[in-house]
Structure 1
Amino acid sequence: MDNAQLRIENDILKLAMQAEFGAEFMDFADIPPEVENNFLKMVRKVEEMEREAPLISVFDFVGRPLVPHSDEIADDAIDAELEKLYAVLEGNDLSLVSIRDYPPRHMYKFITEELFPFEMQDVRMPGMVGIFCYEDFHFEPEEDIRGVIMSFLYGWEKLQWRNPKELIEEHPVQPGGNMVTQESLIRHMILEAGKFSSVQSLEYNLHSIEVKWTDELFGMGYALGEMRYMATFPDGSEQWFEGECKFCCGTLGEEWRLHYFQIPGFTWNGKWLDYE
């Protein structure tokens, strides 16, 4: 079959899977048609198997291994026992990942007490690995908020942000309920950072993070703390800035982003903001 025929077959396969499974596909323009064809056929086979496969526990899927209870394992042996569990998962084409690091005993308890009872479809295929993410089981908004703030402060220390749109809410709400444009808030951040030629010795401590949910998806997060840093001005003069810092974040069920913040050395000036 030549490339033109393969492309036609690939288009038909994609249309069929979109109609049958609701599948969505990226643009495969740079992939050879025979490679795309093999990929599409593999995806279709997996979809068909998953539709017909029964649900079983992860524990049954990995062969019901004999594992000691967490309380029975000594502190100096927990690392080795956790590695055995990871080996059992990997030996059955399963993988457990986490965004952050957690104590070994915590992860051992998670695998044996939460992941093992979790039901999955009994599907096995050479080369296919099932991936579980710890944070999908334990949503921790406080840590997500802390991560956004850390990224913002890292950019403040560097006096630039690689992609500030990933940090700032699309429609930031200021104190009092006024909504400003994302572009103007980012522009103001860059102007304020431009007051300095460098920032050194930045330290901060977030001593409280509070989360409030208005429904299952929309939430607001508030963080309070203290910070200090040494700033150098373009004329060579230096000044310590220190004091209270405040951050207000929001989410619509996905990533947390900043609405508003107060940090020492940052001046809010309404003339730089465009209100919606």
Structure 2
Amino acid sequence: MNKKEDDYYDKKIDNGLKKKELEEKYGAHFSEFNELSPEMENQWLNSIEAFEKQFDNAKRTTVWEYMNKPFFKTKDELKPYEITKELERLFDLMEENKITLSTLCEVDDAELYRFITEELFQEEMDDIRIPGMMSCFTYEEFHPNAKLDIKDAIDYFFRMTMGKMENIGGEGYDLLYINIENYKDSAGNHIEKQKVVNCINYFLDSFDKFEIVTYNEKKFEINEEETDAEVTFTIHYRGLYETSSKTYDFRGDGCFKLKPSEYGGWEMYHIDLPGLTIG
């Protein structure tokens, strides 16, 4: 074994000892599968250790204090044409302090400036500074977008549920965005939870996979209080078998009814889909 190989295995041993120390001190857990070089793994482990040490003694602070209390004017103190420039200045200061703010939907500059100065600056965070670590915030975490959340739930249903993603920790398939506890039929009558689960799983088990050919939204309605929504559509999809070229086509109108979930986002409490009967 040459010196290069000796160094390699020495570093692997050192990293193994470091992992054991982090597991004993902080309850860390590390996967056996690791594609990092010993050098990169060592840097990563040192970052974890530095974070844990700071976290143990970290104080809570506000985003504004974390950024060293930068000067700013309120939105009402600025003229409309000044807002964009001031917003860019705040973003530069946030970047200097390793803070990011992203949006999932389009938000105008005036609202973003108001949000940062009136809400984000008051948000509490841990006073921890680790090289390369970013503190990330998303506008929609503070101001959920109902339409976006509903579209996400529908997209998840087609990609994951109809994609036959297995239910982690349970039997059958992933029904994450379906409210199986409070499911209702088209007349508004409650359907027992296990019956909903059985109907969906039985239908999904009828084919090896599904292919969405077309999906065209017809109506998207959310009530004024944002407590209920209905999405109607036309759809054409196919049920397929892996060992046969035979396919089964399903076409027609469909409907999703949704309510806000207590865990965040929206979930379906009624599904009307050609080929799928629940009840």
Q: Same fold (TM over 0.5)?
A: yes
1:13/1:121 CA distance change after superposition, 3 Å: same
- 1:260 deviation in Å? 4.5
- 1:47 deviation in Å? 1.6
- 1:87 deviation in Å? 0.8
After TM superposition, list the pairs within 5 Å mapping 1:221-236 onto structure 2.
Answer: 223-228=229-234
2:70 matched residue in structure 1: 65
For residues 77 and 129 of structure 2, the distance between their equivalents in structure 1, rounded to whole angstroms, comes to 33
For residues 179 and 263 of structure 2, the distance between their equivalents in structure 1, rounded to whole angstroms, comes to 16
Unaligned stretches of 5+ in structure 2?
Answer: 1-5, 168-172, 185-190, 238-250
Q: Indicate yes or no: 2:275 matched with 1:267.
A: yes
SS at match of 1:7: helix
2:218 matched residue in structure 1: 204
Instruction: Summarize deviations over 1:111-136 as a string: whole Å, max 9, x none.
Output: 11121122323333333322223344
After TM superposition, list the pairs within 5 Å mapping 1:34-113 onto structure 2.
Answer: 34-113=39-118
After TM superposition, list the pairs within 5 Å mapping 1:213-228 onto structure 2.
Answer: 223-228=229-234
- 1:28 deviation in Å? 4.6
* 8 Å Cα contact 1:82/1:108 also seen in 2: yes
For residues 97 and 67 of structure 1, the distance between their equivalents in structure 2, rounded to whole angstroms, comes to 20
* 8 Å Cα contact 2:203/2:276 also seen in 1: no
2:125 matched residue in structure 1: 120
Instruction: Summarize deviations over 1:186-235 as a string: whole Å, max 9, x none.
Output: 346988x77x9x537x23322126999xxxxxxxx85313334689xxxx
SS at match of 1:105: helix
Unaligned stretches of 5+ in structure 1?
Answer: 213-220, 232-239
AA partner of residue 179 (structure 1): V
Aligned equivalent of 2:22, options 17, 27, 33: 17
TM-score (norm 1): 0.68
* 8 Å Cα contact 1:169/1:258 also seen in 2: no
Aligned length: 245
Identity score, percent:
23
* 8 Å Cα contact 2:84/2:109 also seen in 1: yes
Q: Indicate yes or no: 2:247 matched with 1:245.
A: no
1:60/1:183 CA distance change after superposition, 3 Å: same
For residues 124 and 53 of structure 1, the distance between their equivalents in structure 2, rounded to whole angstroms, comes to 10
2:175 matched residue in structure 1: 169
Superposed CA RMSD: 4.1
* 8 Å Cα contact 2:229/2:258 also seen in 1: yes
- 1:56 deviation in Å? 2.4
Q: Indicate yes or no: 2:202 matched with 1:184.
A: yes
